[in-house]
Amino acid sequence: MTHSGFQVAYTVSGLLVGLLVGLTGVGGGSLMTPLLVLVFGFNPTSAVGTDLLFAAVTKSIGTAIHNAGKTVDWRIVGRLASGSVPGTAVTLLALAHFGVENKKVALVISAALGVALLLSAAALIFRNKIIAAGAKRDDAAVERTSLWATILVGFALGVVVSLTSVGAGAMGTVALFFLYPRLPVIRIVGTDIAHAVPLTLLAGLGHWFLGTVNFHLLGELLLGSIPGIIIGSYGARYMPDVVLKYALAAVLTLVGIKLLSSV
C-alpha cells in the first residue's frame, strides 16, 4: 500500500493503541500490526517492522512513567533480556537469509501472527487460572525455577516478537504472573513494558536494516501513541482491567482467525 500526506486514521490508531498499552501492558503489536495489515492494507513484513519501532518508542515513555512510580523490577527485566536478545538475533538472521520480500516469508509471518494473536487471547482469558497455579508453588520452588525459566521465556518472546511483533504484552505478562506469583499486578505490567523496550528496539533496528520499516507511517502512529501511553500509564494505577481483558481477548481471537483464514 502506498500513502502520501498526513493520515488522521493512523494517528488515531496510535492514540488508541498507546492508551491500551499504558493501561494494561497489552495490545501494542497485538492490535497495531493486524490494523496495519487488515484495515490499512500494508504488507505483513512492513507492518511488523514498523510496529516494532513504534512499540520501542511508545513503551520507552511508558517505562519512564512506570519507573518513576517504582513499578519496574529491573532484575526480572535483565533475566528476560538475556533470553530475548539472542532469540531476536537468531530470528533476524533467519529473515535475512530467506529474504523479507519472499512471498512465502510473508505467508509465514501472517500465519505466525494469527497463531500469536490466538495464544495472546488465550493467555488473557486464562490469566487468573495461571496466576492461581503459580500461587500454589512455594517460595523455594519459585526461586529454584524462576531464573532459567525467565530466560527461556525471554528467548521465546524474542523469536515470536521479532517475527510477528505480537506477544511481548499478553504472553509476557501471563508468563510473569506464573513465574512470579507474589509480584503485584502493577509491577508485572511495568516490568513487562520495560522489557519490551530493548526487545522491540533490537528487533525494529534489525527490520530497519532489512528495509521493512515505513518511517512516514511510524511518525504518524507515534504522534497519537505518545500522549496515549502517557495517559494510560498514569491511569493504570486506578483502572480495573476486567472489562478491558475480555474485550481485548475477543478482538484478538477474531483478528487471529481472520489472519489464519486469509493464509
pLDDT of residue 248: 63
pLDDT of residue 25: 65
By CB neighbour count within 10 A (0-12 exposed, 13-18 middle, 19+ buried), where does 216 fall? Answer: middle
Q: Are 157 and 87 in contact (CB under 8 A)?
A: yes
Look-up of cell digits 521493512: 212
Which pTM does this prediction carry?
A: 0.80
Q: Which residues of 96-127 are buried (b: 16+ CB within 10 A; e: fewer)?
A: eeeebeeeebbebbbbbbbbbbbbbbbbbbeb
Q: How are the residues of the chain apportioned to helix, strand and coil, as percentages rounded to the nearest 5?
A: 80, 0, 20
- Residues 57-100: tens digit of each pLDDT: 888 988 898 898 888 999 999 999 999 999 999 999 998 888 87
- Where are the chain's structural domains? 8-261
